[in-house]
A and B are shown apart, each in its own frame.
Chain A
Amino acid sequence: MDIKIKDFEGPLDLLLHLVSKYQVDIYDVPITEVIEQYLAYIATLQAMRLEVAGDYMLMASQLMLIKSRKLLPKVVAEQEVNDDPELDLLNQLEEYRKFKLLSQKLSEQHDLRAQHFSKPRQELIFEEVSLKRDKTSIDLFLAFSQIMAQKKESFKQNHATIEA
């Protein structure tokens, strides 16, 4: 295993990675094998005492349910119950994959836009202008908290710390 949990945006991303190795349509993936790999991966992480986010645990339990149901003999009357969680998961994966792609495309488009720079608006001041008085203390509060939040965020981005 040459992958770290930090490389992934959550359990769906990790599953997508495991599934992609099969080079087949998502709906043709040998789901039990993928489940095995997922659980093995989580177990390895835990053995190394790495912190695993709760989302991964939740997914693990859902996968165990799917797997255990697959192992049990099929009861004809309860057929839809058997297939449902599995199909839901596959649909979820498919949907997630679509947005993962779209976000890459948006990122590319933004990069093109980000090559153009402009300057802040020039505040012009004239004598005969009168004050509108359409702002309240709430507007002031929101404006300042906005600036603080943005500063905090950009500070975090420009000063990358190595997360333990």
Chain B
Amino acid sequence: MSRLAEIEALLFVAGEEGLSLRQMAEVLELPATGLTQSLERLIEKYDKDTESSLMVLQSSNRYRLVTKEEHAELLQRYSRTPINQSMSRALLETLSIVAYKQPITRLEVDEIRGVNSSAAMAKLVTFELIEAIGHKEVIGRPRLYATTPGFLDFIGINSLEELPEVTDLDLTQEESQLFGGQALLSDEE
């Protein structure tokens, strides 16, 4: 039986949940190092095979069997899963503040945005992108929020260290195009 086929079978059944290296190593009873090599071979195999629509994606430290990006348009017409939906600006702003400033209270998010963020925070909790991880030991014991492993998969990275950074270059570029990402609803009046 081929090792690659076994890994493929596992990834296929795991679907969107994916598998961590450790889980796979346990099930296959293999050392993790050998498994990494096999995974790389499998990734390469898909990569070379233009007749195959599949690839292995690594995010949030899990491997998932997913479709290649060239089929995105076709599949968007067919499927709508939460991870493939775009978000409103309010949600994105709130999410990015939590991502970079975690652990953070709702009030601290409000302060940065200058508006009340409770609705946005609740939605992000619903989508399992952020979660309450404890309380801040101040008067009122407000909840502290942090991002979930699902958030890492949401933007396709393995750890928070890989979050993009803001450079001075971005800031100057943004001066000229402050109105790039407009809300869609504004022209319906």
Give A residues with C-beta under 8 Å from B: 4, 6-7, 9-13, 16-17, 20, 23, 53, 55, 59, 92, 95-107, 109-122, 124, 146, 149-150, 153-154, 157-158, 160, 162-163
Contacts and interface: CB of A to CB of B under 8 A. Distances in A.
A106 B166 contact: no
Interface of B: 12-18, 55, 57, 59, 64-69, 71-72, 75, 79-87, 89-90, 92-93, 95-97, 99-100, 111-116, 123, 126-128, 153-157, 163-164, 166, 170-171, 174-175, 178-186, 188-189
B95 A103 contact: yes
B90 A146 contact: no
A67 B68 CA distance: 56
Nearest to A94: B171
B185 A162 contact: yes
19 contacts: A4-B186, A6-B186, A7-B179, A7-B183, A9-B89, A13-B114, A20-B175, A95-B112, A100-B93, A102-B100, A107-B181, A110-B87, A114-B85, A117-B66, A121-B13, A121-B15, A121-B16, A149-B126, A153-B123
Nearest to A122: B13
A23 to B, nearest CB: 6
